[in-house]
Amino acid sequence: MAEEHEGTESGSVCVPVSVPRAEEKDHASRKKLIVHMDLNNTILVSDTVTGQGTVAALDYFLTTVTWGKMSKHGKWEWLSDSASLLPPCSDASSYYSQFGRSPGFTSVAGRRFKGLLEEHLELLRWPEGVKEDKHLTVKGEDGRLYHWILPSFFQLIRDLAREGREFAVIFRTFGTDLPRVLKAVSQAVNEGAHPMFPDLAELKLTVDMTPGKIRCSKRGVVLSRAEKRVSTRDGERGLYQYLSSVEGLGGFQDHFDWWATNTFSIRGGKPIWIDPFDQNVQHVFIDDNIRQNDEDTIVSPKVFLEPGGHDTRAASTAELYDISLVQTDLLRAISDHSYFTQRVHICLENYERNLWNGTV
């Protein structure tokens, strides 16, 4: 599990305000929250782009959170028998970073983690005795029926609504699952179709069924959905304002080719704008590929330099880790239905504390 970071001083914008902790919490509860959420290996344990079903997707995820190193004799040595988002020591490498995709990982090189795989597959099982739902279930390669969207996601939106918080959810994915996710979420939210969350329909949340697109180039970023089109050519403030004004649940397909062109680094990642001077809105991005190595991470945060201004600076992942950026711990998201709620609350508290201290 990732540590709860308090933020860093690197490149910070100073906001000279000092208030008591109780006032920080009160202010945080009044702000509108925009939660940007990845799909694959964040709320979905499958991937249509790579053709991975539930079993293969979870098996693959374990290669990214298990650690070892090459010995001086060129042999792989495990450094831990458990899974963790962060390496156990500075010279550790994840199995994935060393060997790439390794189908059947827990049956061969990662046999020591087979129990973890089986344990979490069991937790992913669709409730026994409840019939299959074409929108909310998926059949695994093993023939068993699983949740397609993690219950912890639905728990998050129910928790935020019960807190009386104004919020919106923006799905952000490189993949092709967005239309189906919007359909499934609509069934659960508007019709109360999820057997574990039948009360979601009472929340009166809206779902925008039209997928949008975000495309990046050297000239800037263009966001489009239906007839709406916003571009950084008109200034980055416009994109921030648009994303801050979103209501309910909806989503955008981000630009995978741009990320690949930029060697899968922060420079080509999914863009997010952070305004530390905005007293009314906070953005949080949750994605399993958020990493503190900026040469190997998936979100590109940009922080505004002055109140109401249009100029931004590039921020590092470490600077905003557990403040505006959350690296998904998929195993915990499966095993603990309050996981996403907990991570969002940590970001709200850390963001507010760092904002008042002038380190965001």
| Tens of pLDDT, residues 41-50 | 999 998 877 7
- The shares of helix, strand and coil residues in the chain, as percent rounded to the nearest 5, are 35, 25, 40
- Residue 98 pLDDT more than 60? yes
Per-residue pLDDT, averaged over 331-336, amounts to 98
* Structure tokens, 265: 């680094």
Structural contact between residues 312 and 283, judged by C-beta atoms closer than 8 angstroms: no
Cross-strand bridge partners of residue 172: 252
Residue 250 is predicted with a pLDDT of: 98
Residue 357 is predicted with a pLDDT of: 60
Nearest to 267 by CA among 309, 319, 302: 302
Structural contact between residues 236 and 276, judged by C-beta atoms closer than 8 angstroms: no
Paired sense of beta strands 270-274 and 299-304, if any: parallel
Structural contact between residues 352 and 25, judged by C-beta atoms closer than 8 angstroms: yes
Residue 30 is predicted with a pLDDT of: 80
Least confident of 34-38, 146-150, 356-360: 356-360
User: pLDDT band for position 171 (50/70/90)?
Assistant: very high
Per-residue pLDDT, averaged over 270-294, amounts to 96
Which residues neighbour 83 within 8 Å (Cβ) at sequence distance 6 or greater?
62, 65, 66, 113, 116, 331
pTM: 0.90
Rg (CA), the chain: 20
Of 125 and 28, which is predicted with more confidence? 125
b or e along 320-340 (b: 16 or more beta carbons within 10 Å of the residue's beta carbon)? bbbbbbbbbbbbbbbebbebb
Structural contact between residues 145 and 124, judged by C-beta atoms closer than 8 angstroms: no
Residue 5 is predicted with a pLDDT of: 39
Name the residue with tokens 């209501």. Answer: 247
b or e along 235-272 (b: 16 or more beta carbons within 10 Å of the residue's beta carbon)? ebbbbbeebbebebbbbbbbbeebbeeeebebbbbbbb
| Separation of alpha carbons 248 and 343, rounded Å | 20
Per-residue pLDDT, averaged over 134-142, amounts to 95
Q: Cα torsion for 76, 81, 82, 87, to the nearest 10°? A: -40
Residue 48 is predicted with a pLDDT of: 77
